[in-house]
Amino acid sequence: MKRIDLVVGARPNFIKAFPVYHALERTGQFSLRLINTGQHYDENMVAVFFKHLKMKEPDINLGIGSGRQGEQTGRILKAIEKVFIDSRPDLVMVFGDVNSTLAAALAAAKLHIPVAHVEAGLRSFDRSMPEEINRVLTDQISDLLFITSPEAEDNLLKEGRDKNQIHFVGNTMIDSLIRFQPLFDSTHIKDACGLQDKEYILITLHRPSNVDDPANLEQLITSLNRVAEIAPCLWPVHPRTRKKVKTIQAKTHDRLVMTDPLGYLEFMGLQRDATMVITDSGGVQEESTFFGVPCLTVRDNTERPITIEKGSNRLVGTQYSNLPDAVMASLEENTKAKTPELWDGKSSERIASVLMNYLS
Ligand code: UD1
Ligand code: UDP
């Protein structure tokens, strides 16, 4: 049997990778290993996703943890190279755009092991984002490029990639959404916070450009306090953001409720039932598009333009003082979102069938 290593490490990786693992497993054609780099490690960033997405424990845990960009990427590269040398797979699969993605792809490519990149070709064209560097470099050294939307193909062709390497399969994050949708449930959180369906705003923010600079973060929270005057807000706070919030003396409005990061099933229930989401997350832009829930993205650009063209996503920029007006405007708008092509819950099966062909 051909051997495939799937490499995960950060919260969004788990949601994108697990349906692919299950689809490959169902073929009965491959020997699979799940390798967790340990880029994320808190229980509510990792273990809860394994539980909610019904995934077995990883075969290998590298336990890398946090660090500066180069330091973290370098530690993963060094550790995973050893794993690949000790027991060489026939193919390595990487997901998304996090440091674990690039490090694993680089280690495999230098050992001449074919690399498959799930979610290839997305571009914000903003190289101040660590993710954009990870995307561009991972795509350059990948052999198979699985894309979620048609414009990704144009981006890859412009960067000199071969059309034969590109496979439009859809979005594996939406595979997880569709499969687990019947289990989404946020009743206890809504009850505890007194939230009514379609009357509250769900917030997630963790981009370094929004949260790392304390003065910037203070301005952002000031704006969110004004948003809370319009509608109650629930903000599950990413650990990166939490660390920064602790360093400032920000006062929060009574209706701006901050919680720890939430498990997948609770978070998705909250997202589905929200009147709106405010975010800088890649995944939330996509999921809200699928739900047709209006999404205000607090960024100047997005690598996911399909969520604006087809979906309910709007870029509101990083002039945070504009946020309350954008919320008011969005509440008055009648949002019409269409599900992007091939976001149908079958993307992982398409990937499995490409791989059966490729590795046969
Ligand atoms: C990473 C990804 C980002 C992705 C996000 C998903 C990169 C460059 N960034 O950002 O693209 O959107 O994951 O959530 O790969 N921390 C904890 N506990 C944890 C994890 C992190 O306390 O379990 C704290 C640490 O202080 C750490 C900081 O969060 O230094 C940042 O973590 P890191 O993995 O470097 O980047 P993220 O901001 O999580
Ligand atoms: N998510 C979650 N609980 C939370 C916040 C996010 O389950 O408290 C899920 C949600 O499905 C989201 C995904 O984690 O799409 C991706 O995480 P994140 O926003 O951290 O990463 P990004 O997509 O920006 O890389």
pLDDT tens per residue across span 5-14: 999 999 999 9
Let me know: does 151 contact 122? Beta carbons within 8 Å. Answer: no
Residue 259, pLDDT score: 97
Q: Is the CB of 121 under 6 A from ligand 2?
A: no
Q: Of all protein residues, whose CA lies closest to atom 11 belonging to ligand 1?
A: 98
CATH class of the domain whose range is 184-333: alpha beta
Q: Is the CB of 84 under 6 A from ligand 2?
A: no
Angle between helices 11-27 and 172-180 (to 10 degrees): 80
Ligand 2 pocket: which of 189, 281, 287, 288 to mutate (most atoms <8 Å of CB)?
Answer: 281
Q: Is the CB of 262 under 6 A from ligand 2?
A: yes
Q: Tell me the pLDDT tens digit for each residue of 236-278.
A: 999 999 999 999 988 999 999 999 999 999 999 999 999 999 9
Residue 336: pLDDT above 90? no
Measure the CA–CA gap between 286 and 284, rounded to whole angstroms: 5
Q: Of all protein residues, whose CA lies closest to atom 7 belonging to ligand 1?
A: 98
Q: Tell me the pLDDT tens digit for each residue of 33-86.
A: 999 999 999 999 999 999 999 999 999 999 999 999 999 999 999 999 999 999
Q: Is the CB of 41 under 6 A from ligand 1?
A: yes
Residue 207: pLDDT above 90? yes
Residue 334: pLDDT above 90? no
Residue 130: pLDDT above 90? yes
Residue 311, pLDDT score: 84
Q: Is the CB of 243 under 6 A from ligand 1?
A: yes
Residue 96, pLDDT score: 98
Q: Do domains 2-171+343-359 and 184-333 have the same CATH topology?
A: yes
Residue 21: pLDDT above 90? yes
Ligand 1 pocket: which of 66, 68, 299 to mutate (most atoms <8 Å of CB)?
Answer: 66
Instruction: Give mean pLDDT, residues 168-184.
Output: 98
Measured in Å, residue 11 CA sits from the centre of ligand 2 at: 6
Catalytic site residues? Answer: 206
Let me know: does 94 contact 8? Beta carbons within 8 Å. Answer: no
Q: Of all protein residues, whose CA lies closest to atom 17 belonging to ligand 2?
A: 12
Q: Tell which CATH architecture fits domain 2-171+343-359.
A: 3-Layer(aba) Sandwich (3.40)
Residue 335: pLDDT above 90? no
Planar angle of CA 186, 192, 198, nearest 5 degrees? 55
| 278 beta partners | 203, 296
Q: Of all protein residues, whose CA lies closest to atom 38 belonging to ligand 1?
A: 240
Q: Tell me the pLDDT tens digit for each residue of 268-294.
A: 999 999 999 999 999 999 999 999 999
- Work out the end-to-end distance of the chain between its first and last CA atoms, rounded to an integer number of angstroms: 10
Q: Tell me the pLDDT tens digit for each residue of 85-125.
A: 999 999 999 999 999 999 999 999 999 999 999 999 999 99
Average pLDDT, the chain: 97
Measured in Å, residue 358 CA sits from the centre of ligand 2 at: 31
SS3 234: strand
What is the number of the ligand closest to the CA of 204? 2
Provide the 8-state DSSP code for 322: G
Q: Of all protein residues, whose CA lies closest to atom 14 belonging to ligand 2?
A: 12
What is the C-alpha R_g of the chain? 20
Q: Which helix (H) or strand (E) holds 60?
A: strand 60-61
What is the number of the ligand closest to the CA of 36? 1
Delimit the domains of the chain by residue range.
2-171+343-359, 184-333
Instruction: Give mean pLDDT, residues 149-168.
Output: 98
Q: Is the CB of 300 under 6 A from ligand 1?
A: no
Residue 250, pLDDT score: 85
Measured in Å, residue 235 CA sits from the centre of ligand 2 at: 12
Q: Which atom of ligand 1 is nearest to the CA of 240?
A: 29
Instruction: Give mean pLDDT, residues 339-343.
Output: 97
Confidence class for position 337, pLDDT limits 50, 70, 90? confident
Phi, psi of 156 (to 5 degrees): -70, -40
Q: Which atom of ligand 1 is nearest to the CA of 42?
A: 23
Q: Which atom of ligand 2 is nearest to the CA of 264?
A: 7
Residue 245, pLDDT score: 96
SS3 299: coil
Residue 30, pLDDT score: 98
